Amino acid sequence: MEKSAVDHITTQETVSINDLESLIRGYIVGCRCEGKSAKTIDSYQMVLRNFLWLCRQKGYPLEPQRINASHIREFLWYLASETNRWGNKSTAARKPASKTTVHDYFRILRTYFGWLEREGLIKDNPFKYLKRPKTDKKIVQALTSSEIKRLLKACLAKTALDTRNRAIICILLDCGLRISELASLTIDDVSVNSGILLIRHGKGGKQRTVRMGSQAQKALWRYLSIYRKGDSNKLFLTRSGEPLDVVGIKMMVKRLGNKANIKVHPHKLRHTFAISFLRAGGDAFSLQYLLGHSTLQMTQRYLQSLNADDAINAHRKFSPLDNMKM
């Protein structure tokens, strides 16, 4: 999702049922009351304030009941085609938005207008007349076995930071955690002997348990028993004993990738876990749970990527021309 320089919508004024800006404020208050995450609310605010900005720029109605499907289509087209959006000079706003970003805007706007309809604030929901924008179905890229070995070798030295980094890489590769889930882990969430991790802060506030294999258990045990120093209850700490946050983990993974001469980021390690799990014979439903997905949609993308890899390998063996005696 792209960033915008427009100020956040505040909640200091009384909500009016006829004013778009006021109703957006009311919607954001409702999202906070429902316990939606700060990241989700930030995304909602960004999309809705940008929609409000364009409504004002284009002279669209500022009463939600007068906004129709054509206004939404024009907004989505502006997003997909304009190279100077929101009067913003940021890099992201200087090129047309990706299909994924357009889809995200559509989804958030549809959720907002669905709320207006449920609250009885509009009678005719414009999204009844709109089709969901198509997104590119890209093949998920995972690390190869050789790249995994090089990445682990890059943090093989017997120092405190290398031992911590190796434990982090092992857990990301063996458990498929989101980076935010890893950063949120505490000592109390870990059972090294059983290899069980309790994920308390999964996406959507859902908890789950995942298992570490023996190699990841060994790496974590070594970090905890020998090198971990600090009073914080967080599992992974910085050199100074402070909790290691998401930004710190991203930087660490990038540095290790540069050292191993491979392109890698934390989410690619999650992709690698998923593809490797399926290739080893794991089933899609178990993978869905382990990844913390609410539906099989993303899991099916991993299946498609696995099928693509297997098809390439099969072609090496069964290439029609290579098997002809010419």
Residue positions annotated with a catalytic role? 178, 203, 267, 270, 293, 302
Contact between 243 and 142 under an 8 Å Cβ cutoff? The reply is no
**What are the E-state strand segments in the chain?**
190-191, 196-199, 208-211
- What residues contact residue 262 under an 8 Å CB cut-off, 6+ apart? 143, 147, 150, 151
- The candidate with the shortest Cα–Cα distance to 220, out of 183, 168, 266, is 168
Contact between 298 and 306 under an 8 Å Cβ cutoff? The reply is no
| Burial zone of 250 (CB within 10 Å; 0-12 exposed, 13-18 middle, 19+ buried) | middle
Contact between 58 and 74 under an 8 Å Cβ cutoff? The reply is yes
Measure CA 132 to chain center.
Answer: 20
- What residues contact residue 146 under an 8 Å CB cut-off, 6+ apart? none
Distance CA 285, CA 27 (A): 34
| Burial zone of 275 (CB within 10 Å; 0-12 exposed, 13-18 middle, 19+ buried) | buried
Distance CA 79, CA 6 (A): 16
- The candidate with the shortest Cα–Cα distance to 205, out of 11, 36, 30, 19, is 36
**In the numeric block, which tokens belong to residue 323?**
């098997």
Residue labelled with tokens 């906070």: 32
Burial 88-127 (b: 16+ CB within 10 A, else e): beeeebeeebeeebbbbbbebbbebbebbbeeebbeebbb
